[in-house]
Amino acid sequence: MRTRITELFEIEYPVICGGMLWLATPELCAAISNAGGLGNITACNYNSGEELRAAIQRARQLTGKPFGVNISLFPSMRLTEEVFDDFFRVCAEERVKAIEVSGRPAVKYLQMCRQAGIKMMHKVGAVRHALNIERLGYDAVISLGFEAGGHPLSDDVAAMVLLPRIVESVKIPVISAGGIVDGRGLAAALTLGAEGVLMGTRFIATRECRVHSRIREELVKREEHETALVCKSINLQGRALKNELALQILELEEKGIELADLVSLMSGQRSLKAWQTGDVESAPLMVGQSVGLIKETVTCRELLQSMVKDAREILEKNLARFEG
């Protein structure tokens, strides 16, 4: 399956793993890359550039295929600007294949990354932001629909509308994210003009993802309406699994709570503990509406191969139907 994205990143399939705090580790990254996609290491898993360097080198022990690094430039309670500087410097020194940026544009790092041969992509939720990313000289843009887990833009535009709007507005390759878990989603994204897809939630329910078995069981059990948008009232909108903590946060927001009062509830350390212990009720578990489409836990190789096979069959069947 050849697209501008497979050529840009030198991968077999146009399937990319997005940033996932605590979960996008060297092991999961290598499994996805070995399966033909673009694996990901999330830089904010680490406290320094040298810790990230060790993770990159660990991934290279596990795969000889290209992989990327996610660097989230959202405000952080744990990481300083100097640490973000180190993350980009280390990626340039290690010459990783790609960097996926979220949050503010990585303006001050773009020249350094270009000189290192790194391909840059940025996650956006609006046409105006996609146009800015193209103007800045990024290599690709990620269209993040409202369905996605994590932090979709508060414009609240779903992928079915956002993706074709961005595709018709920019010339650089567009990657679709939000609500995609299988070959149907891949086929739909390609039909709407995307050159590839980026997934997060679906990769949690793979055997190589280091989460407690109860987490995987919960994702398979949950339906598409069982997520919640939290922290919208303080302009830090996030989509998380609907659990006791999410409902508690929503109740507090109705009372007019402020950011300082939510810090302990939204702590990344809560999430880290939950992923490890399988506690699905007392931590913010950032997943998308695509949980409703996850039916089983599979390996990364099984997932990517079935996605591409099913997407090809869907596209060929529809072409034959219309030609007939």
The confidence band for 256, taking pLDDT boundaries of 50, 70 and 90, is confident
The confidence band for 324, taking pLDDT boundaries of 50, 70 and 90, is low
The confidence band for 299, taking pLDDT boundaries of 50, 70 and 90, is very high
Q: Output phi, psi for 54, to 5 deg.
A: -65, -35
The confidence band for 260, taking pLDDT boundaries of 50, 70 and 90, is confident
Q: Are residues 204 and 270 in the same domain?
A: no
Record the pTM: 0.96
Nearest to 17 by CA among 186, 197, 163: 197
Q: Are residues 105 and 239 in the same domain?
A: no
Nearest to 284 by CA among 234, 235, 250: 250
pLDDT at 108 over 90: yes
Number of domains in the chain: 2
Q: Are residues 93 and 229 in the same domain?
A: no
Ramachandran class of 186: left when φ > 0, alpha when ψ lies in -120 to 50, beta otherwise:
alpha
Q: Is 141 helix (H, G, I), strand (E, B) or coil?
A: strand
The parent domain of residue 313 ranges over 4-210+293-323
Q: How far apart are CA 260 and CA 277, in angstroms?
A: 27
Q: Are residues 175 and 312 in the same domain?
A: yes
What does the block give as tokens for 109? 């790092």
Q: Are residues 193 and 56 in the same domain?
A: yes
Q: Are residues 163 and 80 in the same domain?
A: yes
DSSP 232-290: GGGT--EEEE-SHHHHHHHHHHHTT--HHHHTTTT-HHHHHHHHHH---SSS-----GG
pLDDT at 160 over 90: yes
Q: Are residues 80 and 94 in the same domain?
A: yes
Q: Is 226 helix (H, G, I), strand (E, B) or coil?
A: coil
**Any residues with CB less than 8 A from the CB of 247 and at least 6 apart, and which?**
228
Q: Are residues 283 and 300 in the same domain?
A: no
Q: Are residues 250 and 279 in the same domain?
A: yes
pLDDT at 170 over 80: yes
Q: Are residues 200 and 137 in the same domain?
A: yes
3-state SS of the chain: helix, strand, coil percent to 5?
A: 45, 15, 35
Nearest to 174 by CA among 127, 136, 105: 127
Nearest to 178 by CA among 144, 227, 133, 137: 144
Q: Residue 198: give its domain's CATH number.
A: 3.20.20.70
Q: Are residues 284 and 319 in the same domain?
A: no
Q: E strands of 38-112, at which residues?
A: 39-42, 67-73, 98-103
pLDDT tens per residue, range 19-66: 999 999 999 999 999 999 999 999 999 999 999 999 999 999 999 999
Q: Provide the 10 A C-beta neighbour count for residue 67.
A: 28
Q: Are residues 253 and 135 in the same domain?
A: no
